[in-house]
Chain A
Amino acid sequence: MEKTYKYNPKKEFEERIKKILPDEKDMEEFWKFCHTEPINSIRCNTLKISPEKLKEKISKYCWKLKQPFKEYPEIFIIEKETDLKPGEIGKTIEHILGYYYVQDISSMMPPIALSPQKDDIILDLCASPGSKTTQMAAMMKNKGTIIANDLTVNRTMILNANLEKCGVTNTIVTRKDAVRFCQIWNKKIKKKFDKILLDVPCSGEGTLRKSPHTMEIWNLNFIKSLSQQQKKICSAAIPLLKKDGVLVYSTCTLSIEENEEVVDFMLKNFNLEIEDFFLPIKTREGISNWEGKKFNEKIKFCKRIYPHDNDSDGFFLAKMRKK
């Protein structure tokens, strides 16, 4: 790759992307998109306003809006031709009133995969800043219950602020290390969850467009250590899931160690079955072979979202059911 950008990937990182995307044109597209601004997208907060009403209210800003998915009219894309001032989308009165949430399209996919229902009890173990928590609360129409946990005061403060702005009433926010949370819940509370979202801390290779600095601080040892941490979080969370309960594992990274390897670990060590599922954006199959490791053949049911496929951030998702 020609190095002409402000931030350039480390050689090792570049080599790994080459293995993930062996087609040269495909890989070139990937890097090209990594050096451009991602498309702006917003999610209508249906707890407060309908998509039609929101569209009417924000028409005064002359944003070129598109609702790309018929089944999900709450998702809006602000087309690239729109002349947006810096920070404009986050400064409107409609945003202050919580009528919409600024969220990348790929980050809207984990709640769609989990499909929370009105009477579900849901665990969102690494919840901050709350994009997916607020989306799930809207899908549940503020019914059921979400337990939204995160590690630090700063993170739960941001989470609480977003829940408040969106008018979420069905959530309890806790502050604990994810593994510790699961241990205490399992021992003291004992109530099982219908669904669990594990949107775990990751190396963020999928968000290079927003944080290009990641290209230069990228480190394989860090990825390996995150992979271990992710496996620990999953191992602690799975016992909290009901029989027949659904678990969605997601990251905003592309490394196999943090994605397929973790899912393979879960399938090998726990009573889980991986399921195929539909998402309304372009996805690619999970990778079954990596550096001599051969994963469960159903790993192909995992969904990889690449930035250049949907002009979004990169993401990874897997959906599993407890047997």
Chain B
Amino acid sequence: MKIEIIEKKEKEKLLEKLSYLGNLKTENLFVKTGEKIRMFSGNLDKEEIKKIWRNFMIEGIGLYIIKDFKNKKKNFEETRLSLEGLYFFKEQIKSSIVEIDEEQKNKWFKGETITLKEEQKKNIQNQIVVLKFGEDFLGTGKIKEEKIYNYLPKERRIKN
């Protein structure tokens, strides 16, 4: 796994891209591994981490929290929190939340697309939303034509 430790300014920019969810902040270290941004809370400094990476096959560091996706050809850019990222920032997430009901929750965990209900369409200002059932954040989805497309990873879905 190729890793790149993100400097403070770039980290701020990344969190700014997620401002559609709220004013997200963390002191933890951000590490870039391709499109995935991981967060490390351990007590090793940057040089120690780099030294480990140079000498070992690092297969994982910290927690995957953000997907920062760019497609230059299509001029498309998307930055969203992973399921665990949502969990980590749950106290700071204030907007772009869609509260779903029991039936929608069951569909969501099967990986299905959810049709928005009238009351859920109000106040949605962003294409990427987070789904919430009661006090639990259940992942992010993308709104397109009054539907939420499911970004829940396959391994976190309920298998029949």
Residues of A within 8 A of B (CB): 48, 91, 93, 96-98, 119, 121, 142-147, 153, 156-157, 159-161, 163-165, 167-176, 181, 184-185, 188-189, 191
Please choose the segment from B35-43, B117-125, B141-149 that sits at the chain A interface, where 4 or more of its residues have CB less than 8 A away.
Answer: B35-43
B7 interfacial by beta-carbon distance below 8 Å: no
Flag if A164 contacts B56 (CB, 8 Å). no
Q: In chain B, what residue has the closest Cβ to A47? A: B87
Flag if B59 contacts A188 (CB, 8 Å). no
Q: How far is the CA of A143 from the CA of B28 in the complex (A)?
A: 11
B99 interfacial by beta-carbon distance below 8 Å: no
B73 interfacial by beta-carbon distance below 8 Å: no
B contact face: mostly helix, strand, loop, or mixed: mixed
Flag if B88 contacts A167 (CB, 8 Å). yes
Among candidates B41, B44, B48, residue contacting A142 with C-beta atoms closer than 8 Å: B41
Tell me the number of A-to-B contacts counted with CB atoms below 8 Å.
102
A contact face: mostly helix, strand, loop, or mixed: mixed
Flag if B41 contacts A143 (CB, 8 Å). yes
Interface size class for chain B?
A: 20 to 34
B91 interfacial by beta-carbon distance below 8 Å: no
> Can you give 28 contacting A-B residue pairs, CB < 8 Å?
A48-B87, A91-B159, A93-B105, A93-B109, A143-B41, A143-B43, A144-B42, A144-B43, A145-B43, A146-B42, A147-B52, A159-B60, A163-B60, A164-B64, A167-B88, A169-B42, A170-B40, A172-B40, A172-B44, A172-B52, A172-B58, A172-B61, A173-B58, A175-B57, A175-B59, A184-B55, A188-B55, A189-B52
Flag if B41 contacts A96 (CB, 8 Å). no
Cβ contacts B79-120/A at 8 Å (1 or 0 each): 000001001100000000000000001000100000000000
